[in-house]
Chain A
């Protein structure tokens, strides 16, 4: 196994609407910035991989258009996943294991403001049994949240406390979308969208883009003083049908965290991709993250939720704290699918 590190990270501030941006306009600022931070150009990059979904802009093959934000002449090695950019990072990590290249550029973009996100995400559901019913993403998450309450694992107040803490953490994050001191009691007065989920227990819908540069071994050490080494990375998926899982647990997160090496030593912080407040509680339990772990110092997806980008931003936020020397060991997590079906976990470390 080769040692791979995150050496730079760039993101656009998550906001409700980024105007005047086609794919190339979203991608160009973050990819060029991530490369400039380590004095690289596209010519120095061995492999480029992106994560996005065409259903957000409603434009087939929008991921191909995104390549226009890169210098792609002479032709580059390029790939794409119809998933969060964090899964593109996983593909790039695998590609770096081949041994023939030392650098990779990973990026993702989420222009969530163009369409009806809760309805678009129904397209993730089973097309025979669920899609025709119109199960939106908030209602699907609500079924999971109610199951948490019924199992005695959490209360609505617990959900509100996760949301309040996340948005308080985000005060220090210039790129967060929703931040500030919010009252738990006031949140509990909000009307239900789909019970037991109230507006504050749900993520904002944000526009953003992000990019990360990966480098191998000594190449990474030459580019930055303190690379954020990916000590372990693993992803696991569960059954698709909601009716065939225990929604209050996340065995895929447990296994992915174990395989990524979490068990060996605790982490200083964890950046969890839990768009809905109750999902953070599930993930913490599944991965055994105790009170000593700083959860989502950036504010997490409850503070900024650009679809297909929020996961890659978790990797960037965790890595930034290692690159800066503020943290020694961190966990980065991304989920995919309905109700945490699929989970990716990495353990990052400084030297």
Chain B
């Protein structure tokens, strides 16, 4: 059998189309970012407008402006767009009922991922940057989230109080200050107004060393709003030698799978010229290398 000949072949028609008073008015309005529907004889609104409704009745010459938003009636997610599609990234086709309209419009929804698509979802119209008086003057629709930004901004002066001020001033000098009720003898770091077990003021200050026992810890692996460090990192409770309450700080300088309760740790300070009235003067706590503290020695501090 002889070989079959084959060649590429392109078919194009450079037609123009007249639009008429109904379609033409709708498309012209799109240039000015105005979305209009046409009223039917029985008072419904069609958007996109048509010359005749589905019963064959001529529509009226009454146009109404509509909000550029609507509801998805059905949709299809396209993971790999075809050449003629309106996007070259994944998108959805949808039938969208414009608010106030009786019928629905075929258009694209730029939703980013299929998971955001749902029948009944609300969408808003996105206008194309450049307009040509065609349906593509509507660039697409995009999901409307039922949330609004609601930030709060209030400005206060913070006053840490007498005891916390003493603690912060200590830190500025590289010291860790605790408070003690002389009667009960318990040392609270940071110091506080009263010993909660006696109700007496803890107005006797004691300096404790920057060395202590890691009593418990957690490894943070998930990101959250306002996070300053990149996960994973370890946060622990440290009971400094001579203190009866823990302070909380980062644990570092050791592989995470070697961190354990009872580990002896020591503060790693910032360079002294960077010290401020802040616990951030301590970068983190790291192992001292001493033998672990016995559980019984710190169990009452857990």
Q: Which A residues have a C-beta under 8 Å from some C-beta of B?
A: 19-20, 55, 58, 115, 118-119, 122, 125, 127-130, 132-136, 139-140, 142-147, 150, 191-197, 238-239, 241-245, 247
Query: B89-131 vs A: 1/0 string, CB under 8 Å?
Result: 0000111010000011111100000100001000000000000
Are A19 and B74 CB-contacts (below 8 A) given A118-B82, A128-B27, A243-B106?
no
Check if B19 is an interface residue, CB within 8 A of chain A.
yes
- Complex Cα distance A55/B23, Å? 26
- Is B4 touching A143 in the complex (CB atoms < 8 A)? no
Given A58-B9, A133-B108; A20-B4 close (CB under 8 Å): yes
Quote the shortest CB–CB distance from B18 to chain A (angstroms). Answer: 10
Q: B78, A194: Cβ atoms under 8 Å? A: yes
Contact A146 B48 (CB under 8 A): no
A55 to B86, CA, bound (A): 22
A132 to B94, CA, bound (A): 15
State which of B11, B50, B75 has its C-beta within 8 Å of the C-beta of A143: B75
State A146–B136 Cα separation when bound (angstroms). 24
Q: Closest CB of chain B to A139's CB: distance in Å?
A: 5
Complex interface residues of chain B between 1 and 45 (CB less than 8 A to chain A): 4, 9, 11, 17, 19, 23, 27
State whether B95 touches A242 (Cβ < 8 A).
yes
Q: How far is the CA of A132 from the CA of B133 in the complex (A)?
A: 12
Residues A139 and B78 in contact, CB atoms below 8 Å apart: yes
Interface pair B106/A130, CB less than 8 Å apart:
yes
The answer on a CB contact under 8 Å between B11 and A58 is yes
Q: Which residues of B contact A122 (CB under 8 A)?
A: 84
Contact with A along B37-67 (1 / 0, CB 8 A): 0000000001010100110000000000000
Determine whether the beta carbon of B135 is less than 8 Å from that of A243. no
Question: What chain B residues lie within 8 Å of A115 (beta carbons)?
Answer: 11
Closest residue of B by beta carbon distance from A131:
B135
Report the interface size class on chain B: 35 or more
A136 to B53, CA, bound (A): 25
Complex CA distance for A239 and B73, rounded to whole angstroms = 17
Query: Quick one: given A136-B84, A197-B76, A244-B54, are A129 and B105 in contact (CB under 8 Å)?
Result: yes
Out of A119, A128, A133, A139, name the residue touching B83 (CB < 8 Å): A119
Q: In the complex, which of the residues B23, B27, B79, B106 contacts A191, with contact meaning CB atoms closer than 8 Å? A: B79
Residue numbers in B under 8 Å from A243 (CB-CB): 48, 73, 95, 97, 103-106
Do the beta carbons of B93 and A143 come within 8 Å of each other? yes
Q: Which of B128-157 contact A (CB under 8 A)?
A: 134-136
The 5 closest A-B pairs by CB, nearest first: A243-B104, A134-B84, A142-B76, A147-B74, A195-B77
Tell me the complex Cα distance, A119–B97, Å.
25
Chain A residue contacts of B93, Cβ below 8 A: 135, 139-140, 142-143, 194
Decide if B175 is an interface residue (CB 8 Å cutoff): no
Smallest CB gap from B119: residue in A: A150
Q: Contact partner of A192 among B17, B23, B79, B83, CB < 8 A?
A: B79
Kindly list chain A residues whose C-beta atoms are within 8 Å of the C-beta of B105: 129, 243
Chain A residues with Cβ below 8 Å from B83 are 119
CA distance A127 to B114 in the complex (A): 28
Asked whether B119 lies within 8 Å of A132 as measured between CB atoms, the reply is no
Residues B84 and A242 in contact, CB atoms below 8 Å apart:
no
**In the complex, what residue of chain A is closest to B86 when comparing beta carbons?**
A133
B136 touches A132 (CB 8 A): yes
Whose C-beta in chain B lies nearest to the C-beta of A141?
B76
Chain B residues whose C-beta falls within 8 Å of the C-beta of A134 in the assembled complex: 82, 84-86
Q: CB-nearest residue of chain B relative to A130?
A: B106
Give bound CA distance, A132 to B79, whole Å.
20
Note all chain B residues with C-beta closer than 8 A to A143. 74-76, 93-95, 106
Q: Check A241 against B103 for contact (C-beta < 8 Å).
A: yes
- A contact residues around B86 at 8 Å (CB): 133-134
A133 B82 Cβ-Cβ under 8 A: no
B46 and chain A: residue at smallest CB distance: A244
Residues in A with CB closer than 8 Å to B134 are 132
Contacts of B9 in A (CB 8 A): 58
- Give the residues in chain A near B17, CB-CB below 8 Å: 127-128
The distance in angstroms between the C-alpha atoms of A130 and B80, with both chains bound, is: 20
Alpha-carbon distance A244/B95, docked complex (angstroms): 10
Are B50 and A241 within 8 A (Cβ)? yes
Chain A's closest residue to B76 (CB) is A142
B118 and chain A: residue at smallest CB distance: A150
Interface-centre pick from A122, A140, A191, A193 (highest chain B CB count, 10 A): A193
